[in-house]
Amino acid sequence: MSQRIAVIPGDGIGNEVMPEGIRALEAAARRFDLKLDFRHFDFASCDYYLDHGRMLPEDWKEQLGGFDGLFFGAVGMPDKVPDHISLWGSLLQFRRSFDQYVNLRPCRLMPGIRSPLADRRPGDIDFYVVRENTEGEYSSVGGRMFEGTEREVVIQDTVMTRTGIDRVLKYAFELAERRPRRKLTSATKSNGISITMPYWDERVQAMAEHYPNVDVDKFHIDILTANFVLHPDWFDVVVASNLFGDILSDLGPACTGTIGVAPSANINPEHHFPSLFEPVHGSAPDIHGRNIANPIGQIWCGAMMLEHFGHEQAGRAIVEGIEAVLAAGPEAAPLTPDLGGKGSTSELGEAIAAAIRDGGQR
Ligand code: NAD
Ligand code: IPM
Ligand code: MN
């Protein structure tokens, strides 16, 4: 059986890291005899917007809905298209319309990478951020009144639903239950945000009763960010609302050396819709066009996508390929500048693809 994958590179370095993601997937597919059928799309990019006046064609749901996975790069050309237009017209639409309510973002210090935190070694940082991905602070509810006058008012509501909170908590608790440490940390702010966050805490407490084996704690988001830096070894599964999860999932990977390695899986756990796999980073206009972007985030996303398809071994082989190349260090492997090396995007991607192929011959 073949898996159908929609390839949507988007903007900026999305176009540079995507070919490396595909190269790694093809290496794994050959080694494990999988059939992956890629189809490329130019929409969900600012160039498409500049040509068509919209980010997506009218029938995008029909075009994408039948795929097994969406392999996505990054969107955003803030000099040409305002971010809220490009992102609400693409990535945020996909998450909502395809009900990808879990955003799973691993933070792991890999061998060969130096953490900016003193004395942290691989194994010391190894946790998941589970981010609520369809509601909360990103709910587009509100408006602007008295525009252009002294009385101008803007209001944007945070919408949290019982179903919306419970389903992401359930995913996070189940993940924690499968991990050796069985620990779950909830990100809250119920001391200051007096309606939604106490409710979030209540739902965490209620869900915890169904998972007596999981050790649960919670921190307010302010001290939680401090603890990510001071005690990253405390964390195993961290569950958070949409905005808190967004912030934690850049901070976590920064603690593991560079956001260039961080992947994310926007998952519809019921498989009613395709899930979407994209690096945590954006289109990085500051380094675009130089072939120096780190492709590991995109490549690791490929591993998460294969795991989502049920090809665990092939997914693991991609992660092992990444680790083998990183472990060689910047002297021996063509690591990109964010990893302290002098390699290019394509050289690093080729080295990882070769390691994925070689893994089979060991
Ligand atoms: P960014 O992640 O694009 O870049 C932040 C910094 O990290 C930059 O200095 C960049 O050079 C560096 N960086 C990012 N990815 C890297 C990689 N793979 N290798 C090496 N260095 C890397 O965030 P930003 O600057 O806030 O946003 C730029 C644009 O991307 C904006 O339009 C923003 O809205 C968009 N964005 C999109 C996504 C997405 O599509 N998922 C995510 C974040 C930001
Ligand atoms: C991410 C990004 C997006 C988000 C932006 C680009 C809308 O930062 O995927 O983390 O906030 O979710
Ligand atoms: Mn983000």
**SS3 assignment for the chain:** CEEEEEEEEECCCHHHHHHHHHHHHHHHHHHHCCEEEEEECCCCCHHHHHHHCCCCCCCHHHHHHCCCEEEEEECCCCCCCCHHHHHHCCHHHHHHHCCCCEEEEEEECCCCCCCCCCCCCCCCCEEEEEEECCCEEEEEEEEEECCCCCCCEEEEEEECCHHHHHHHHHHHHHHHHHCCCCEEEEEECCCCCCCHHHHHHHHHHHHHCCCCCCEEEEEEHHHHHHHHHHCHHHCCEEEECHHHHHHHHHHHHHHCCCHHHCEEEEECCCCCCCEEEEECCCCCCCCCCCCCCCCHHHHHHHHHHHHHCCCHHHHHHHHHHHHHHHHHHHHHCCCCHHHCCCCCHHHHHHHHHHHHHHHCCC
Structure tokens, 77: 């050309």
Q: Phi, psi at residue 61, to the nearest 5°?
A: -65, -40
Nearest CA to ligand 2 atom 8: 246
User: pTM for this one?
Assistant: 0.97
Give yes or no for residue 243 CB within 6 A of ligand 2: no
For 268-314, the pLDDT digits (tens) are 999 999 999 999 999 999 999 999 999 999 999 999 999 999 999 99
Residue with tokens 């890291």: 17
Mutate to test the pocket of ligand 1, among 100, 281, 288, 298 (most ligand atoms within 8 A of CB): 281
CB 101 within 8 A of CB 164: yes
Residue 360 has pLDDT above 80, yes or no: no
Which protein residue's CA is at the shortest distance from atom 33 of ligand 1? 76
> What is the value of ipTM here, to two decimals?
0.99
Report how far ligand 1's centroid is from the alpha carbon of 338 (Å).
Answer: 13
pLDDT digits (tens, 9 = 90+) for 49-74: 999 999 999 999 999 999 999 999 99
Query: Mean pLDDT across the stretch 224-252?
Result: 98
Model pLDDT, residue 75: 98
Residue-wise pLDDT for 71-129, tens only, equals 999 999 999 999 999 999 999 999 999 999 999 999 999 999 999 999 999 999 999 99
The residue to mutate among 81, 83, 92, having the most atoms of ligand 2 within 8 angstroms of its beta carbon, is: 92
Ligand 2 neighbourhood includes 246 CB (under 6 angstroms): yes
Determine if ligand 2 sits within 6 Å of the CB of residue 236. no
CA separation for the pair 200, 178 (Å, rounded): 23
pLDDT of residue 362: 58
Q: Is residue 20 lining ligand 2, measured as CB closer than 6 Å?
A: no
How much of the chain exceeds pLDDT 70, in percent? 99
Ligand 2 atom, smallest distance to 133 CA: 12
Q: What's the farthest any 2 CA atoms get from each other in the chain?
A: 71
How much is the average pLDDT of 227-250? Answer: 98
CA of residue 282 to ligand 1 center, whole Å = 3
Mutate to test the pocket of ligand 2, among 92, 101, 138, 246 (most ligand atoms within 8 A of CB): 246
33, 76, 55, 120: which is closest to 278 by C-alpha? Answer: 76
Tokens of 132: 């609520």
Q: Specify the pLDDT at position 1.
A: 78
pLDDT band at 157 (very low <50, low <70, confident <90, very high): very high
In the chain, what percentage of residues exceed pLDDT 90? 98
Decide: 328 in ligand 2 pocket, CB within 6 A. no
The 10s digit of each residue's pLDDT in 171-221 is 999 999 999 999 999 999 999 999 999 999 999 999 999 999 999 999 999
* Amino acid (one-letter) located at 178: R
List every span in the chain annotated with CATH 3.40.718.10.
Answer: 1-101+259-362, 126-255
- Report the topology of domain 126-255: Isopropylmalate Dehydrogenase (3.40.718)
251 in contact with ligand 2, CB cutoff 6 A:
no
105 forms beta bridges with 129
Query: How many whole angstroms separate alpha carbon 330 and alpha carbon 81?
Result: 37
- What ligand is nearest to the CA atom of residue 254? 1
Region 1-101+259-362: CATH code: 3.40.718.10
**Which atom of ligand 1 lies at the shortest distance from residue 14's CA?**
40
Residue 361: is its pLDDT beyond 80?
no
CB neighbours of residue 214 within 10 Å: 21
Average pLDDT, the chain: 97
